Structure formats: structure tokens, C-alpha cells
Amino acid sequence: NSSSFGKAFSELKQLGLIDRVPRLAVINAAGANTLYQLYEKRGLRWNRGKPDQKLIDGYVAELDTTGKRADTIASAIEINRPVNLEKCLRALEGMDGVVREVTDQEILDAKAKVGASGFGCEPASAASVAGAKKLCEEGLIDPEARVVCILTGHQLKDPTATVAYHTSDQTEFNRVLGSRGVSRAAFANRAVQVENDLDAIVQAIQLNS
């Protein structure tokens, strides 16, 4: 997504269809944070099409040596070796971008907040909302700024995590989410179980509205 946005906004500006290119924030899950580590912690840059390949190779070698694998509840961004890394670096340079990481706890909290507003998204999409919140707290996003968070993933992706977050069964919560550092469900909307019957479903909605 990030590399595509970089190309799109660059072309829109060149064509005179927009006056300025917006800033870009790429949000990694903390358990799959290769871009964050390389860009924010080690200073990797696009460098006019000549990024430091030794820096990239060194980081990949570290992953191999330590056996570190991507591990996050957000399966769509559970990637430690992004295939479009160089294109993303170009987008970050062209859009004055930043990279941040968010925990699975922050991701699921953001997902629940999105859901409470009547929208649905997968955990990976909710990472963008969690990242926007973090950037506001850092002061990089003004409270009055217009911000677009990309929510492209369907809400029924990674359903096990969603059910576990909103369940009242602490054992199930711990089984699914405990190992991922998720310790609470502050924004849970407790599920109501009903029979597979239309009238029962309608009645449950009416009683819980």
C-alpha cells in the first residue's frame, strides 16, 4: 500500500491535480517491524535510488541468525521481509514519511473502537488507527488535522482474535491473546449468543440496542 500511495500522489502532483503531497505514515506491528527497525532505528533511506544494501543485508542476516520470525495477531502485515522495501523507501522520501510500530494490544483496542463506530476492519487495518493515535500523542499529527486511515481488510479476517477480545470467557481470552501480550479488553463489546433463527436474532438485537 505504501509504495502505491507514493507513486499515486507523486503522479497526481505532477499532473497538477493536487497542490501538495500529503505526509505518509507506515505502521508496523511490533511483532513484524522490519521497516520500523531499518528506517527509524538504523537510518535506512531511499538515497536517490541507492539505499544502503549492506544495512539491509545485515538486518536480514540478523533475522536468520536469531531465527526471529514475524509474530503478530495482524496476519496481513505479519511479514519480516517486505518485498517492496525499496519502493516503500521511495514513497517515504517523496511524502516526508514516518514509520511507527504498534503492539497487538494497541491494534485490538483500535479495532474495537472502529467497530464501536459502526465500521468493521481486520486487525492489520486497525494498525493504521492505532498508529494515528500514537502520532497524535507524539505531536506529529495536529488534533485538528485531516487524517485518512486505510481500512481495506474485511472485518471477518482473523475472526478468532476478534471473538477472543470481545468474549467474557477469560480462559479463551488468555489462550488466544495472552501469548501475544494482550492483557485486557478495555473496549470489548460482549457478544450475545442466540440460536440460528431469524426471529431470535431480531429479538436479541432489539433487546441489546
150 class by beta-carbon count within 10 Å (0-12 exposed, 13-18 middle, 19+ buried): middle
Residue 126 half-sphere exposure, CB side, CA atoms within 13 Å? 31
Confidence of residue 191 (pLDDT cuts 50, 70, 90): confident
- Given a cut of 80, whether residue 209 has pLDDT beyond it is no
Write down the pTM of the prediction: 0.92
* HEC per residue, the chain: CHHHHHHHHHHHHHCCCCCCCCCCEEEEECCECHHHHHHHHCCCCCHHHCCCHHHHHHHHHHHHHHCCCCCCCCHHHCCCCCCCHHHHHHHHHHCCCEEEEECHHHHHHHHHHHHHCCCCCCHHHHHHHHHHHHHHHHCCCCCCCCCCCCCCCCCCCCHHHHHHHHCCCHHHHHHHHHHHCCCCCCCCCCCCCCCCCHHHHHHHHHHCC
Q: Which CATH class is domain 2-155?
A: alpha beta
pLDDT in tens, 120-165: 899 999 999 999 999 999 999 998 999 999 998 998 899 999 999 9
Confidence of residue 12 (pLDDT cuts 50, 70, 90): very high
* Beta bridge partner(s), residue 27: 100
